[in-house]
Amino acid sequence: MRCEVGNFSRGEITQTVKRKMLMVSSDSPYPVVVGGFERLIADYQEHVFHDYDVHHLLYGYDLETQLLHYGSPVPFSDLVGTLLREEFEFAYFVNPALNFDDNDVIIPLTERTPSFCFLQRHPETAVSDARFKGMVTHFSERPHPDVLRLGGSCNPAIFYKNRQAEDFVLCVGRIAPEKNTLELVRDYKQKIYARYGFPLYLVGGAHDPEYFRQVWAYVDNESVFCTADPERPVAPHSWRSSAEIARLCNRARMFVIASPSESFCIAMVEAMSCGTTCVVNGNFFGFEEHDLQPHVFGNITGQQGSILDVLEQALGRDVRIDASAWVGKYSLAATRSRLMPFIRTRLHTHNGVTTTSVAAASAG
C-alpha cells in the first residue's frame, strides 16, 4: 500500500492512504511498450491516474492472468476475492478482449466496482454498455451522455520539439500486415532513397515472424534500417524507449505511416509533438477530418494509391508541417482534464448507493 505524508500540525504526522483503482486489459506495458495500448496504460498509470494507487489486471483470451502493482506481480489464490477485497474505487477497462456475457471474474468485478471502458470504436458488439458507468472511445456511432469521445495522449515532458539534423525518414510501430510495412519498404530504395538520399528507419518489433521475414528482405542497412532483432523480432530489445523515439523524431525529416486504417495513432501524435512532418495514407477515424487534415500531408479518410507515392510528393514539394502547437490538445494534462471529471461525476452513485461527497470531489 502506497502512503503519502499529509498535513503536519501540532507535532503529529497524518498519513493519507491513496485510493485504489484497477486497470484491466489484454495488453501490458511490461517489460516494454510495444504499441498504443501499452503506451496508454503506462501513461495513464503514471500521469492521468497519478493520485490513485493503481493495480493492473492482465486478462483475456489465451493469456496468463496476472495482477500487477506497478509492474510487480501480486500473488493470489482466489482472483475474484483478491480483487473485491482491494475495494477499488473504480475499474478502467482498456480495449478488452474478453467475454463479458459469461465470465466468472469480470461479472462479479463489474457488479461490485464502478467500471468504465475504453474502446477504439463504440459500440463494440462484444462489450455491453450496461456493465459500465461510462464508455470512452476514439469514435462513436452511437453517442450518448455516458460516452466520452477522447483522443489519444502524449507526454510533452518526453516528446517536445528539439530539432536536429534531418537525415532520415522514420516509421515507428509494429512490423505487421495491418501496418502495411511491406508496401513501404518494397520499392523504397528505388523510389525514395535513390532520388532524395533519405534512408528509412523502421523502429519497432513484430509479432508475425513470417511477415517480418518478408519485410526484413529489404533491410540493407543503407536504404532501409530496422531496430528489430532478425532472430527474435518479438524480443523486448527489438523496441525502443519513449526517450529514444523522441530523439529519433527530432532527427527525422519526415514521419511516415503506411497503415490503411488507424483509430488514432499515438506514434503520430508523438512525432507531431517533436515538430516532425507526418505523411499518411489511410483512414484516421479517431480524428475529425477538418481538424486533422491541415496538420498532416496525405490522405486521412482512406487509402489512395501507394504510401510511397504520397511520400514522394511530400519530399518533392519539400513539405514542412509543424503541428507541435496544435497537438498540445492531446497532452496528458489535457486528457486528464477531460477524463477525470467524466469519471468523477459517474462515481456518485453505483447500484443505487451514493458515495461520499468528499471522495467524489477529490477524484479529480
Q: What is the pLDDT of residue 99?
A: 72
pLDDT in tens, 6-35: 443 444 444 567 899 999 999 999 999 999
Q: 361 pLDDT exceeds 70?
A: no
* Residue 146: closest CA among 133, 131, 163: 133
Rounded to an integer, the average pLDDT of 195-199 is 98
Looking at every residue in the chain, the average pLDDT score rounds to 90
Separation CA 29–CA 131 (nearest Å): 26
Q: Right CATH number for 3-152+332-361 from 2.60.40, 3.40.50, 3.10.450, 2.40.50?
A: 3.40.50
For 274, half-sphere exposure in the C-beta direction (CA atoms, 13 angstrom radius) is: 29
Within the chain, where are the H helices? 36-43, 79-85, 106-112, 181-186, 188, 194-196, 209-216, 242-251, 266-273, 289-292, 307-316, 332-345, 357-361
Instruction: Give residue limits of the domains in the chain.
Output: 3-152+332-361, 168-328
Is the pTM value of this prediction over 0.75? yes
Instruction: Please give the full DSSP string across 145-183, using - where no structure is assigned.
Output: TTEEE----B-TTTS--------EEEEES--SGGGTHHH
Do domains 3-152+332-361 and 168-328 share one topology? The answer is yes
pLDDT in tens, 84-134: 999 999 999 998 887 777 789 999 999 999 999 999 999 987 787 888 999
pLDDT in tens, 30-57: 999 999 999 999 999 999 999 999 999 9
**Is CATH 3.40.50.2000 what the domain over 168-328 is classified as, yes or no?**
yes
